[in-house]
Amino acid sequence: MKLHHRMLRHFIAASVIVLTSSFLIFELVASDRAMSAYLRYIVQKADSSFLYDKYQNQSIAAHVMRALAAEQSEVSPEQRRAICEAFESANNTHGLNLTAHKYPGLRGTLQTASTDCDTIVEAAALLPAFDQAVEGNRHQDDYGSGLGMAEEKFHYYLDLNDRYVYFYEPVNVEYFAMNNWSFLQSGSIGIDRKDIEKVFTGRTVLSSIYQDQRTKQNVMSLLTPVYVAGQLKGIVLLDINKNNLRNIFYTHDRPLLWRFLNVTLTDTDSGRDIIINQSEDNLFQYVSYVHDLPGGIRVSLSIDILYFITSSWKSVLFWILTALILLNMVRMHFRLYQNVSRENISDAITGLYNRKILTPELEQRLQKLVQSGSSVMFIAIDMDKLKLINDTLGHQEGDLAITLLAQAIKQSIRKSDYAIRLGGDEFCIILVDSTPQIAAQLPERIEKRLQHIAPQKEIGFSSGIYAMKENDTLHDAYKASDERLYVNKQNKNSRS
């Protein structure tokens, strides 16, 4: 295939890919817009979930404040005795239900710095109100369309006056003990001191991301102050960990998306982050969304391109099949064109080139080779006694002799050379980038091939050789070789 035809084929193939890809690009752009809107929806839903958690934490704190503000009856001797009997010490910490559930009056674990059980008797009598508040908020009806997740988050209460902490869930003191009770000054429980100081303003605070001393994982906390008689008494806390965040951000209506979704919360101040979810396969991101929540928390979401391929597999398959079909049509068209072109310049009987190969383009190419110093040899060949064969054996035998000679010529030259049947029993061979010595040996090589492929036939031929010169046309070069053929043939006839 000629260079300009090859370039045209590549151009058409590239155009087919571009045009068919425009459909896929349109689908990709539409998907990008839709998924960007969906990511915004996920963040808005998460923000609403944080507000819902904030509301629940405030509800628990309000319940505790009402219990503290109510007129308290004196703790009975039996209850006091039960509390003190269950009071224990372990791991330099004191309290109730430290290693086992020994005091049934409380659901969770109470840790204190005091070694005297009398200091926590009143607290133990009041903390069931905290248990009831947490339990009530966990089991209330969800009117938020999934905002109130049916999950158990970690609630606890820090009493600043009486210096104790009460965990709603049992916490084994062997794994975590509150030993440093100066947390307001040192931030020893992991929460940043600035976040704790904000509690003194009376507002519920969403903390920055910090490493929880109990779980050694990055978490966030909601801190709601508890006041008694206008004075800050304690803090109700709710920890939000990675599992809680996974439930908040999980795409329930698009479970397939979760496999290819990256979700990360980052603290813009400290640089700490919580990697909520990572795509199973990270090829490259095609949709991303970043949003800053109040309190310096940045939400980053992105979707891997494999989600588009997986979710839109019908469109992708349609694009692939359409592109393949059109490319195959282009290939078949050019192959047909090449076959037609080859047939147009090929001799029907011998399969060699015919006169139509002798074009101005070939002439220019050969002249450039000669000008560059390469040798181009013309060999004119003419069968001997073809008329005698036709007259004595018939034209069928004459055509067979021509075909056998053409076959011998074709097998004796290189692919870069040109073997041309000019008509009748006249042939022309053009040796490209050859030498006079090789050209002189070619007739002998053709004779040997004839003896090999047709040992029973007596097929002879005469030849003339000419080296093409600068400014020679194809006609000039062939005419010169034909003149030498005529001379050689006359000499051959005179000898016989």
Separation CA 295–CA 298 (nearest Å): 9
Closest Cα to residue 481, out of 436, 417, 415?
Answer: 436
By DSSP bridging, strand 418-423 and strand 461-467 are: unpaired
Closest Cα to residue 123, out of 86, 89, 75?
Answer: 75
Separation CA 305–CA 166 (nearest Å): 47
CA 361 to chain CA centroid, nearest Å = 49
Closest Cα to residue 162, out of 204, 102, 116?
Answer: 116
Q: What are phi and psi of 92, to 5 degrees?
A: 60, 25
Q: Nearest 10 degrees: CA dihedral of 52, 58, 63, 67?
A: 170
Long-range CB pairs of 78-85, under 8 A, 24+ apart, other chains included:
79/105, 79/121, 79/125, 80/118, 80/121, 83/117, 83/120, 83/121, 83/124, 83/125, 84/117, 84/118, 84/121
CB 46 within 8 A of CB 371: no
Is residue 425 among the annotated active site residues?
A: yes
Maximum distance among all alpha carbons in the chain? Answer: 150
- What amino acid occupies position 460? G
Query: Which residue is it, tokens 């370039």?
Result: 7
Separation CA 461–CA 382 (nearest Å): 5
CB 43 within 8 A of CB 372: no
**Residues 6 or more apart from 242 whose CB is under 8 A from it?**
217, 218, 219, 274, 275, 276
CB 279 within 8 A of CB 262: yes
Kindly name the residue from 159, 304, 417, 425 that is annotated as catalytic.
Answer: 425
Catalytic residues, by residue number, are 425
